[in-house]
Each structure stands twice: as structure tokens, then as C-alpha cells.
């Protein structure tokens, strides 16, 4: 029953954190992330990242991205796919190159420095989605470009990671399995097309005829969780599956009913645990001795995504402020970078002394991203409102 008490504490603390954040004019997600830092090992040490916290947070990020898919306009995503591609490509190239060069400046071995760059190339759009939803700008050209770019970024980073691991570690097994991984992913995206076009409408129509409580919501959650599970199986992030599941269900007439119920379920239990779990990873042990390393990489991490996204959007014809908003939406590294970091640690590509500083760098980008995104969003949409 210990976890029940922990869950109560998280829900009370995140509710207060959200309230105080909004009262002082910053995104609610900042308060929830800071709650994780305060309750975790860097603060009071009351909540630990155990298996139940991990599982609840996994469901939380899946539901968050499912809601983002439900809220997205498919026609806008198609329209801004090309800008999203430019943003994703430059948003990977800049962090990889400058992450590697920064690592070299700190005399990090070549293969490890390159892997630092790959970690910085990751984007976790779940934090940005929360800010976009809070500011009601998901269905704008900038919001649609951020969502599209994050999906492309996710796919490309997985491919870069798969390709690089074999060379950086000298393991030929990954090279052998890469064509199979690529084939599985292609088949997965073909299935996504079928899901959006035919399967989801048929399933939701069938759900309406089932004599069971909340059948429509249950079937929509099965689609969401099932797509997330299969995405993970083929080497993609589970959030990609959840996002496209949301898009598929959004094309049906039960969209509003599903959104209303899943939003209540997600925000009342699972999504707060996800945001807290990110903060729980912070550990300030040896922080002082590695402060310059952390600051240098944090600045590189923020600027490379911001500038990469900016130039990607500018190439696609966006204005300066719109391009900066798109770049800001790509800054957060969140759980995607943490997953890549763990893979690097398991593959012995990351020395133990760099693990904690890299976790702090990832979490600092996650903390500042909502503030930067809100700043550039306000510059555009406050002006338009006037």
C-alpha cells in the first residue's frame, strides 16, 4: 500500500505546483517538474523512481501524446510536413555536430563525444505539447510543425542510434539487424495509414454498438496502448504510436467524447506522475566539480535545437518569430534523451562520471523549454490578438 500513499502525495503536490505556477504566470508543467525535484533524491527524498512510478509515468506520457493526436488537425499536419522535415533534419545535425565538438573540448574520447551529440539530438515533445495545449496553439502552423518535426526527429534519431551503435561499440550484430528493423518500421507506418483510413472508424463504430459501460473509451484506449506497444516492438518510441492512434480516433465522430474522458483520466492520475518522474532523476551529487561541464553542455543543448529549428523553419518560409517558436518547441529532451543515455550506459559508451551530469543537462533543457516556448508564443499570438 506504500505506493498508494506516494500517489496521493504526488497528486496533491502537483495540483499545488500547477496552481502556484499559473498564479505567477509560468506554465503549469514547470511546477510539476519542480515538484519531482523537491520530492526526489535532490530534495526531500520522499519519492523514489520505482517500478510503479515508472509504469504510471509511461502510461502518462502515452496518454498525453494520444490527447495531442486527438487535438491535432490532420490537414494541418500534412500541410506542414515539409517544414517539419527541415526542422527535424537541422535539429539533429546541429546538436550532433556541436555536441561532439563540445565533448572534444572537454577531452572526451571520440566515440563517447559522438554519442553525447546523439543524446542531444533527441527531442521529447511531450513537454512542449503540454505548453501548446495550455496556450491553445496546438492547431497553428507553428504547433503543427513542432508536432510533425518531433515525429520525424524521433524516427531519425532511432535510425541514427541504430546505425551508430554498431560503429561506436564495434558490435556487428546491430548492423546485421538494421535492415530488418527498417522493414518493420516501414510496415508499421503502412499500418498507421490503414488505421487512420479504415480500421479506427470501423472499431469505433463497432464500440458504439457494444452493450458495456464506456465501451467507446475502452476501445480507444486499446488502440492507443496497442499502437504504443507495437511501436516499441519495432524500435520506435511508444509516443509515436500514441500520437498516431490519437490522430486515427480524431477522424471519427466520437472524438470529443474520447478526448473528454481520456483527458480526465490522464490529468487526474497518470500525467502528473510522468512530469514528477522526470524531476525525480535529478541528483546534485558532485554538482560543484562538474558545474562548468553541465553549463557548457546545457547552453549547447538549448542553442543547437533552437537555432536548428529556427533555420529549418526559415528555409520553409516561416517568419523570424514563428521560426524561433518552432525551435523553442524542439528544445526539451525529456524521456527520449534519458532512454538514449541509458542505452549508452548499457553499451558502455558513457563513463560513470558523465552519467549524472548528462541527466542534469537533459532535465535542465526540459525545465527551461516551456519558458522559452511560452516567450516566443506570446510574442506571436499576443500581437495577433491585438
Please report, for the chain, the start and end positions of each structural domain, with discontinuous segments joined by +: 62-270+287-379
pTM: 0.81
**Residues contacting residue 306 through CB under 8 Å, at least 6 positions apart:** 324, 327, 328, 330, 331, 372
**The domain 62-270+287-379 is classified under which CATH number: 3.40.50.620, 1.20.1530.20, 3.40.50.300, 1.20.20.10?**
1.20.1530.20
pLDDT at residue number 169: 67
DSSP string, 333-359: -HHHHHHHHHHHHHTT-S-HHHHHHHH
pLDDT at residue number 170: 62
Taking the mean position of all CA atoms in its chain, how far away is CA 80? 19
State the average pLDDT over residues 224-234.
92
Q: Over 80: is that where the pLDDT of 51 sits?
A: yes
Percent residues over pLDDT 90 in the chain: 56
CA 200 to CA 383: how far, in whole Å? 39
pLDDT at residue number 386: 39
Least confident window among 56-60, 179-183, 296-300: 179-183
State the average pLDDT over residues 250-264.
95
Q: Over 50: is that where the pLDDT of 111 sits?
A: yes
pLDDT at residue number 382: 67
pLDDT at residue number 172: 52
pLDDT at residue number 166: 64
State the average pLDDT over residues 250-258.
94
Q: For residue 273, how many C-alpha atoms fall within 13 Å in the half-sphere facing its CB?
A: 27
CA 354 to CA 358: how far, in whole Å? 6
**Residues contacting residue 108 through CB under 8 Å, at least 6 positions apart:** 116, 354
The band of 173, judged by pLDDT with boundaries at 50, 70 and 90, is low
Least confident window among 16-25, 254-263, 320-329: 16-25
DSSP string, 77-109: HHHTHHHHHHHHHHHHHHHHHHHHHHHHHTT--
The band of 385, judged by pLDDT with boundaries at 50, 70 and 90, is very low
- Tell me what the pLDDT averaged over the chain comes to: 88
Q: What is the pLDDT of residues 342-382, one digit of tens each?
A: 778 777 888 888 888 998 898 889 888 999 999 999 889 86
Torsion of CA 303, 82, 122, 307, to 10 degrees: 0
Q: What is the pLDDT of residues 195-215, one digit of tens each?
A: 999 999 999 999 999 999 999
Contact at 8 Å (CB) between 338 and 281? yes
Q: Over 90: is that where the pLDDT of 41 sits?
A: no
Least confident window among 86-100, 118-132, 167-181: 167-181
Q: Over 70: is that where the pLDDT of 4 sits?
A: yes
Q: Is 49 left (phi over 0), alpha (psi -120 to 50) or beta?
A: beta
CA 319 to CA 313: how far, in whole Å? 8
Report angle CA 362, 366, 370 to the nearest 5 degrees.
160
Distances from the Cα of 355 to the Cαs of 49, 267, 281, 340, 348, in angstroms?
A: 16, 31, 11, 12, 11
Percent residues over pLDDT 70 in the chain: 95
CA 202 to CA 67: how far, in whole Å? 20
The band of 284, judged by pLDDT with boundaries at 50, 70 and 90, is confident
Q: Over 90: is that where the pLDDT of 106 sits?
A: yes
Q: Over 90: is that where the pLDDT of 250 sits?
A: yes
CA 73 to CA 222: how far, in whole Å? 22
Q: Over 80: is that where the pLDDT of 176 sits?
A: no
Amino acid at each position: 500500500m506504500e505506493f498508494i500513499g506516494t500517489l496521493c502525495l504526488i497528486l496533491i503536490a502537483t495540483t499545488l505546483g500547477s496552481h502556484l505556477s499559473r498564479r505567477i504566470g509560468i506554465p503549469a508543467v514547470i511546477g510539476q517538474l519542480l515538484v519531482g525535484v523537491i520530492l526526489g533524491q535532490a530534495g526531500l527524498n520522499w519519492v523514489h523512481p520505482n517500478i510503479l512510478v515508472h509504469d504510471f509515468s509511461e502510461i502518462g506520457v502515452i496518454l498525453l501524446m494520444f490527447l495531442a493526436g486527438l487535438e491535432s488537425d490532420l490537414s494541418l499536419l500534412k500541410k506542414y510536413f515539409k517544414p517539419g522535415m527541415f526542422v527535424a533534419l537541422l535539429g539533429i545535425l546541429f546538436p550532433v555536430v556541436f555536441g561532439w565538438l563540445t565533448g572534444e573540448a572537454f577531452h572526451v574520447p571520440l566515440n563517447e563525444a559522438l554519442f553525447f551529440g546523439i543524446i542531444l539530438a533527441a527531442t521529447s515533445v511531450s513537454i512542449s505539447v503540454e505548453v501548446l495545449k495550455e496556450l491553445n496553439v496546438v492547431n497553428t502552423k507553428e504547433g503543427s510543425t513542432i508536432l510533425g518535426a518531433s515525429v520525424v526527429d524521433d524516427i531519425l534519431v532511432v535510425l541514427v542510434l541504430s546505425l551508430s551503435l554498431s560503429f561506436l561499440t564495434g558490435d556487428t550484430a546491430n548492423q546485421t539487424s538494421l535492415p530488418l528493423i527498417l522493414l518493420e518500421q516501414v510496415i508499421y507506418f503502412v499500418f498507421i495509414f490503414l488505421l487512420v483510413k479504415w480500421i479506427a472508424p470501423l472499431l469505433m463504430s463497432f464500440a458504439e454498438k457494444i452493450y458495456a459501460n464506456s465501451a467507446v473509451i475502452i476501445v480507444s484506449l486499446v488502440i492507443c496502448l496497442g499502437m504504443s506497444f507495437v511501436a516499441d516492438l519495432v524500435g520506435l518510441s511508444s509516443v509515436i504510436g500514441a500520437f498516431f492512434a490519437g490522430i486515427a480516433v480524431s477522424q471519427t465522430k466520437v472524438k470529443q467524447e474520447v478526448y473528454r474522458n481520456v483527458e480526465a483520466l490522464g490529468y487526474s492520475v497518470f500525467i502528473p506522475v510522468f512530469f514528477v518522474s522526470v524531476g525525480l532523476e535529478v541528483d546534485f551529487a558532485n554538482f560543484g566539480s562538474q558545474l562548468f561541464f553541465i553549463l557548457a553542455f546545457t547552453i549547447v543543448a538549448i542553442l543547437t535545437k533552437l537555432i536548428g529549428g529556427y533555420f529549418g523553419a526559415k528555409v520553409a518560409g516561416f517568419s523570424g518569430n514563428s521560426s524561433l517558436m518552432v525551435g523553442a518547441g524542439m528544445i526539451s529532451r525529456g524521456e527520449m534523451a534519458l532512454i538514449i543515455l541509458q542505452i549508452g550506459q548499457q553499451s558502455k559508451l558513457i563513463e560513470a562520471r558523465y552519467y549524472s551530469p548528462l541527466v542534469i543537462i537533459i532535465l535542465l533543457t526540459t525545465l527551461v523549454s516551456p519558458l522559452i516556448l511560452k516567450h516566443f508564443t506570446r510574442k506571436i499570438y499576443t500581437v495577433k490578438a491585438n
